[in-house]
Structure formats: structure tokens, C-alpha cells
Amino acid sequence: MLPSPRGTAGAAVTVCSRRADRRPDERVRALGRAAAVVFTHGHWDHVMGHAALPEAPVYVSRVLATSIARGDPRAAKYLDDARSFDSRWYVPRPSGYRWPDALRGLAEAERADVAGLALRSLELPGHSPDGLGLVADDTLLVGDYLSPCEIPFIDDARAYRGTLARLIELLPGVRRVIPGHGPRLTADEALAVARADLDYVDRLLAARDLAAAHAVPMPRAADVTGMIDHHRDNGATVLRQTG
């Protein structure tokens, strides 16, 4: 949640929410209204909440906007993944499974003034092809990169590596980082996560077989249920791309 600093009293920009089945959270109501919604990428757990804020324009990466407009299978799968999760865990979602009616796609390095908040966009592929980062004043929002409580979830290893290298260059210029999962980080804390993740991805890229990939140490969260499965998925994904 980014409070709007000027010009639009009682507004906020809300980034990535899944909770369409509930009312907008306390902070939106405390600030008055949501002036905009931003999806940092298309994964279902970052997009489904838009239905709770129907008046707010929704900003996404240009890549995701194009994918949705074309009806790409990847965009359809994101919604299918939400259906599957809800079915498994008995989650009601009366608003259904759909994309917002109108999306505003942001291209690399595009600048947008959203409710008085000056945003600069970054295309961040690797976790998904449609990743969107935002620089807002001294704050960097990174979606599903730099989580202090997860390992990288890799879709495209070389793109992921490139995004991490880019974030490492950017971090000295900001004061705080908001990842999609986990608490806010100082720039130094985020830098430590980024360097550990870059080492992890590089080791996976150097692995010659599945046994070597599985032997790569996880950068964190090894005791979190299911994380070892993501680590193994990463190994298989990277080997398909390097083999």
C-alpha cells in the first residue's frame, strides 16, 4: 500500500491483492479510497483482489496487458490457478475469475503519475515474463523477487539472472524495498537477498544434471514446508533451459 503524497488527499495505490472475497482492507478504508491498483505480475495470488476495488484503474506491465488482450494460454492459466486454489481450500469468490475490464500497460522506463505518486516502471522477467517493478521516490517494489522468506521461483533462469543483476545495480539508489512476500526490507537487506539469489541461480545454471542441481544449497527457507519441491522444480526448469 502506497499512500498518495500530494494532490489527492484520502487516496492510496494498492499493489497486488488476492482477497476479492473480502472488503478492501483496513488501510484502504483508513486512507479513504484506492486511487489505483497495480499488479506486479500475473500470478493469481497477486491479481484476484481487483474486484474489491472496482473503481480503481489497474496498472500492469505492457507484457501482461498484451498477453491478456491476446488471450494467451498463460493468462488463462493464471485464472485457472486461482480456480484450482479456491476449489481446494473452499474459498468463495463471488466476483468470479476474470481480468479487469480495462488495464493500463506500463512499458520499460515509463513514468506514470498515479494519484500524485510519481512511479517509474521496470520490466522484470524471470519469475514470470510479465514482471513489473516500480520505483516510487525512495521505495522499490519488486513483486516476487527478493523475498526474505522464499527461494526464487524460476520461470526463465537467464532472465531471472538478468533481473537480479539489474536490481543489484538499482538498490543503492533506494532506501527501502517492498517484496511481494515477506516484510519490507532496507536496501542493504534486499541487497543481501539479491546476492544470495544470484549465487543460487548461477549455481543452478552451472549444474550439469539433476543430482547436481538438487545439491545446490537453497539460499533460505529450507525448513519451510514445500520449499524443497520448489527447489527441485527450479533444478528441472533450469536444466531444460541449459540442456
Q: Which stretch binds Zn ion (CB under 5 A): 29-37, 100-108, 141-149, 159-167?
A: 141-149
CB of 127 to Zn ion, least distance (A): 6
C-alpha cell belonging to residue 194? 539479491
35 or 62: CB nearest Zn ion: 62
Is 144 a residue that touches Zn ion (CB under 5 A)?
yes
Q: How far is the CB of 108 from Zn ion (least distance, A)?
A: 19
How far is Cα 196 from Cα 120, in angstroms, rounded to an integer? 26
Q: In the window 164-223, what residues touch Zn ion (CB under 5 A)?
A: none
Between CA 223 and CA 38 the distance in angstroms is 32
Q: What distance in Å separates the CA atoms of residue 216 and residue 199, rounded to the nearest whole number?
A: 10
The 10 Å Cβ neighbour count of residue 66 is 15
Q: Would you state the cell numbers that stand for residue 51, as one nine-digit string? A: 474486484
User: CB under 5 A: which stretch of 87-95, 96-104, 144-152, 183-191 binds Zn ion?
Assistant: 144-152
Subset of 23-52 contacting Zn ion (CB under 5 A): 43
- In the complex with Zn ion, which residue's Cβ is closer, 123 or 144? 144
Q: How far apart are the first and last CA of the chain?
A: 41
Q: Which stretch binds Zn ion (CB under 5 A): 70-78, 138-146, 169-177, 215-223?
A: 138-146
Collapsing DSSP states into helix, strand and coil, what is residue 120? Answer: strand
Distance of closest approach, residue 43 Cβ to Zn ion, in angstroms:
4
Write down the least CB distance from residue 21 to Zn ion, Å: 20
Q: Sheet harboring 176-179: ordered strands across? A: 111-114, 117-123, 132-136, 139-143, 176-179, 185-186
Among the listed ranges 5-13, 58-66, 137-145, 156-164, the one in contact with Zn ion (CB under 5 A) is 137-145
Report the alpha-carbon distance of residue 128 to residue 153 in Å, rounded: 9
Query: Judged by CB, which is closer to Zn ion: 56, or 154?
Result: 154
Q: Does residue 18 belong to the site contacting Zn ion (CB under 5 A)?
A: no
**Interface segment toward Zn ion; rule CB under 5 A; list 85-93, 140-148, 156-164, 209-217:** 140-148
Nearer to Zn ion, 36 or 155 (CB): 155
Dist. CA 212–CA 29, nearest whole Å: 50
For residues 242 and 158, what is the distance between their CA atoms, to the nearest angstrom?
9
Taken in order 232, 19, 193, 160, is the CA torsion positive or negative? positive
User: Judged by CB under 5 A, how many residues of this single chain contact Zn ion?
Assistant: 2
Does the footprint of Zn ion cover residue 155 (CB under 5 A)?
A: no
Q: In the complex, which residues of this chain contact Zn ion (CB under 5 A)?
A: 43, 144
